[in-house]
Amino acid sequence: MKIQHYTQTRPEPVAEGPGITVRWVVGKEDGAPHFAMRVFEVEPGHSTPYHSHAWEHEVFVLTGEGTVRHEVEQETAVSHGSVVFVPGMEPHQFINRGDGILRFICLVPIEG
């Protein structure tokens, strides 16, 4: 069993954009067989890339004020306690619209 505070995992920059870090808090190296847990931090004025991919996301927003862009010109507000399920192949983007860090958990499947 692994028990750690999420801040004990080193934050890594995200290649797709500035102002974003990711912590892989549970992953393959921990023996996780099916899915991985990451914690993202998006700085004010920044956002994750608007993109799509084959795998799904399951997201829980921890802190901050943001929007999820789910189609061109369509955004939905999210904040602490928001849950987002992004099915595979659906375009999505997490945008920080507040003054503080937008911090959220995002889980993805581990490829067999």
42 contributes a contact to its own copies by CB under 8 A: no
How many chain residues are in contact with its own copies, going by CB under 8 A? 38
Q: How far apart are alpha carbons 33 and 36 in whole angstroms? A: 9
- Segment near its own copies (CB under 8 A), from 14-22, 26-34, 41-49, 93-101? 26-34
Give CB contacts under 8 A, 24+ apart, made by 4-10.
Answer: 6/39, 9/39
- Segment near its own copies (CB under 8 A), from 14-22, 43-51, 77-85, 93-101? 77-85
Shortest gap between Cβ of 94 and its own copies (angstroms)? 11
Q: How far apart are alpha carbons 66 and 84 in whole angstroms? A: 12
Tokens coding 102: 């937008």
Q: Can you tell me which of 14, 25, 95, 101 binds its own copies, judged by CB under 8 A? A: 25
Q: Which one, of 9, 27, 34, lies nearest residue 112 by Cα?
A: 34
44 contributes a contact to its own copies by CB under 8 A: no
Q: Can you tell me which of 14, 42, 68, 102 binds its own copies, judged by CB under 8 A? A: 68
- H/E element, 104: strand 102-109
Strand order in the sheet with 74-78: 74-78, 66-71, 93-96
What residues make contact with its own copies under the rule CB under 8 A?
1-7, 9, 25-26, 30-35, 37, 56, 58, 60, 62, 68, 70, 76, 78, 81-88, 90, 92, 105, 107, 109
